[in-house]
Structure formats: C-alpha cells, structure tokens
A and B are shown apart, each in its own frame.
Chain A
C-alpha cells in the first residue's frame, strides 16, 4: 500500500499537490463551518437563557391555552370590537385578529350556511365598518340548527407560519404564544399562506402581517385577553394549563373539547366545545 502510494507520488508529481490542496480546502471549509456556526451553537435554548425583561413575569412558568364554548356564544361581537380597540387593528370590515362565524342549517340542509361579521349583509345591518352586528336574516326561516363560533389564532404547538417565516419575524415563545416582531417582518405573507386557519391578516397601511397575540401585553400583566374580558357570557375562556384550577384547565377537563383541523398536524391550543364537523 505504502509503496504503491509513494510510487504513485513519484509517477505523478502533481497528484500530491492536488491532494494537499484538497485537504487544505476541506479543512478550511470545516473550520469556516464551525466558525460561522458558532453563534448558532452558542445560542442557549429559550429555557436556559434569562427570560425577557417583563416585570413580574417569567415565561418559563406558564403554558397558555384558550377555550371557546360555542354553546354559550350569543354572537354579540363585543369581542371583535374589543380586540380592535385594544390592539389598534385597522377599523374596517377586512382586518380582524378575531372574528365570529355563524353556522345555520335550515330544514333539509346537508351543509351549514356560514357567514361572519364581515359579510356585506351584516355590515349593512350594523351600518358601518367600525361596529359589527349579525343581521337577523334567518328570523323567519325554518332553522333546524344554528350556532356561533368565535375564531382566532390557534397558537399552534407546531406552527406552520413560524416554519415558513424567512426572517425570524414570527416565532413561538416557551409559554406557548406565537408572536410577530413587526420590525423584522418584510411583508412577504408566506405565513398568511401557510396558516391553515386563515388567522393572519395583512396590515396594508404598515406593510406587515398581523395576528392575535392572546393580548400578550395583558396576559403578562396578569390580565385576561381583551376578548375574554368583555365576553358577557363566558363563551371565551383563557388560562394557564400549568395550573389545574385555571379556567382553561377546568374547561378542557369538563368538556368534550376538540381542535380545528387536527389532521394538519399543527396541534392548536384553542380548544372548542359545542361545534360540529362543519367547523374547521
């Protein structure tokens, strides 16, 4: 073997040079790789680094989740209006962080008739795009079954939107909330496409994507999200799953809850009671 190589060396003087060169390049690339990757490797997981500087709040101690009881919702849309006021969402009929859908089966219907507050008929009933109301279009119709379903960002355990974001503008926090860093959002809207729930809206005025944060500025101060705060019938439930006595833990324990589109593998953290298969 040894002799073969040395003979080969002698036979082809240029081969040693080439081999050395390739070795040098290989080592260089390996070193560069280690060097370039260093910040990534040095980055500690979120659980180990000191938590963000939020007074009186430690994100390692919470696991937030949201519940929606469709059997209680009266479709008053106070939550939609409150969300817009609390978060400064664009005041028109096209931008929502949370919304409410109405599912109606008339006699003989196989599929539900669905409308939401931004339906033109409902906007006509409220008289403006700044206030919201469901019109009474089914008042004298033969309704077999009808119910309202509030919707919002599901803050998934495996969020597709975070996976596709090219700039790290949207991310998941250890306490289970998916947030958007508007200063890093480039407005490409990949996340809007990726979300199976249509929970993300594009703010045309600011050129960034926007969505529900579960009122992160409120829950980190010990308050409820604005929509939960104003819901007059407790159709919206919020709390910490780490606390077995929190409203959400009780809600999940005491109801037959489901999540929307479980087949997508996003593992949502908004749990629904009282919906049927048509709701997705």
Chain B
C-alpha cells in the first residue's frame, strides 16, 4: 500500500480513537442507562426535600387549633373543601427550626425578585403567621365573576368594609354560630343584686342610669357585660372610675352582676323624631352586628336599643378619636360625621329594646 494512503488511514484511526476516548471520558457513566439522558439525574431530582408537609405535621403540636379547624367549614372533604393549615400559613419546611423554613410572605416581599434559596436564615425561630389583614381571606372569598356559585363569597363593601375579617371570624372555625351562643347567664342574679348596690349610684338600682352620660345596664347581654367588666379590670378599656370598681370583682362576682342586670327590664328614653329618622337611614352599617333595630343577635356584642343617647354619642366619638379602640368599631366610627353620630345615638336611644 502506498505510503500516503497508510498515513491517511493512521490519521483517520487516530482521530477515531481520540474521538471515542473523549466521548467516553466526558459522558457521564449513567448516560444511556435508561435512554438519551443522564440516569443519575432522576434520583437527584427526586431527592429534593418537600417543603409542604401536610396537616398531620401541624397537628402534632397545634392540637387545639387543629381541632377547631377540623370541625369547621374549612374542612369538608365530602364537599371537596379542604383548606389545610399550609394554605394560609404557607409551607412548613423544617419549622420550628429557623433553618430550612421557607421565607414567609413578608420575607418574600423583602427578598424581591430573587431566586429564593432555602438555606439557613438569620433570625428567630421560624414562625408561620398567616396574614391578619383581609388579603388572606379575600383571596378565596371576594365575590368575583368566574368563581363557582358553590364558593362562599362576600361583597366586601357591603359585608364589613375594610375591617379585618378576623375581628369577627376565627379563621380556624370561621362560621359564626349565633344559635350555639346562649344568652342564659351562668351567674346568680340574687347574689348579683346584693353586689349591685355598689353600681346603683351611677347606673341606678335596676340598671337604669341616673345620668344620660352613663350607660343603662338593664337588659344588656350578660356575656357583653362580663367582657366589659373584664376589660375595665385588665385596663384594656381605660376608664378611671370603672377600673376602680372592677378591680375588686372576682370572675364569679362579674357573672352574678351580669346575671342580675341582664335580667332587669329596660326602658326607652325617646329622642328628637327628625334625628331618629336620619339615624335610622345611617344605621345600615351597624345592623350586621348590632341588629337592624339595635338588638344584637350575638350576646358578645352589646344591644344598642334603649341605650342613653348621650352615652352612645360619647362612645362613638371616643372610638372615632381613638379614646377607645376596637378592631371593627374604630374603623366604622371613622366613617361617621358628628351629625351622623348624633342621629344614630337618637335612633338607638328611641328604639324598642324588648
């Protein structure tokens, strides 16, 4: 064979050997194991750690919240509804350890548009708070074309304005059960009558106040009276006079007093008719909680019917200017003008309280 042909063949062979060696060297061992890809990559992808871990993991510590949720409309698998813990609280990761907890909503905002790493993070033990403003709830419950009719939806403006949903609804058990709440006082009315001597100077012997600036107590919901006394005692509702009066009351005393006053019959004081009719028109936004005629369907919220107009007006003004604060009432009161407040006070003062 001529020399130049031999050279050519040697060159071709050398190139083939070099090419094959390079291919063998650079191709991963697991390539072609299952097909035209790197076989080991399958197990690598499968080895990632799940961040959403399901309800059972949450339940192991947060049993009380789990129980409340389990019996609520948020857990109705038979109707295809299953709003698990991580839907609102976000992925659990390695919570409670800080390390490996995926960033919370607020942290994600701070991170900005970055590829999020789930490595160790600085800071306190990882907490998983759900958002407490409306956004968490209205993500599913804002009335919107396209949502199926079976989905519970509310018109935000008509339902509660901008008040946070959690001020009335417990997100774990969001349904407010009016029938389940009893207004039957637990306390002893007779014992309450004895104690009530201390209250009589201002609130009258049977709960009919001697001065329109002070509230009538007769016929008020027992549950509300107890809440109010507790708030005075703890300082949550600042009032010098009442703080002193409530300081000496035990829980049992409060129940007895509430039983006594809630059992007394109320009387209507009456007010300017023109203001009453204006107040009635403005009362739509109060009706949801306090009832259309000022008689609240829920014993946790006060009846307004028959209350003194001076007291009602002063209370609304104090919610408005921040003297008293309440998640719902503070925001509602800010929408009222001074004239609105006058009219509303007149309307409720003249409403039938029975």
Contact = CB atoms under 8 A, between A and B. Distances in A.
Contacts, number: 193
Interface string B12-44: 100010001000000000011111111111111
Nearest to A230: B87
A204 B20 CA distance: 34
B145 A74 contact: no
Contact of B144 (A139, A168, A229): A139
Contacts of A143: 145-146
Interface of A: 21, 28, 32, 35-36, 39-40, 43-46, 49, 52-54, 57, 59, 71-78, 82, 84-86, 88, 90-92, 102-104, 128-131, 133-134, 136, 138-139, 141, 143, 146-148, 168-171, 173-174, 179, 181, 183-184, 203, 205-206, 213, 215-218, 220-221, 223, 226, 229-230, 232-234
B91 interface: yes
B71 interface: no
**Chain B interface category by residue count:** 35 or more
A216 B111 contact: no
Q: Give the top 5 A-B pairs by smallest Cβ distance, nearest first.
A: A217-B48, A92-B113, A146-B146, A181-B41, A171-B37
A39 B26 CA distance: 14
18 contacts: A46-B34, A52-B34, A52-B39, A57-B46, A71-B148, A72-B80, A74-B148, A76-B139, A82-B86, A82-B91, A86-B51, A91-B116, A143-B146, A168-B36, A171-B35, A173-B34, A174-B34, A229-B52
B340 interface: no
B59 interface: no
Contacts of A181: 37-38, 41, 44-45
Nearest to A79: B87
Interface string B71-89: 0001000001111101100
B74 to A, nearest CB: 8
Most chain A Cβ neighbours within 10 Å, of B16, B50, B114 = B50
A220 B81 contact: no
Interface of B: 1, 5, 9, 12, 16, 20, 31-52, 54, 74, 80-84, 86-87, 90-91, 102-103, 105, 108-109, 111-118, 135, 139-140, 142-148, 151
Q: Is the interface of A mostly helix, strand, loop or mixed?
A: loop
Contact of B5 (A21, A46, A91, A133): A21
Contacts of A203: 115
A77 B74 CA distance: 17
Contacts of B105: 130-131
Contacts of B151: 74, 233
A168 to B, nearest CB: 4
Nearest to A235: B80
A104 B147 CA distance: 11
A33 to B, nearest CB: 11
B115 A49 contact: no
A139 B318 CA distance: 36
A106 to B, nearest CB: 10
A153 B49 CA distance: 21
Given A36-B20, A104-B145, A184-B38, A52 B43 contact: yes
A88 B116 contact: yes
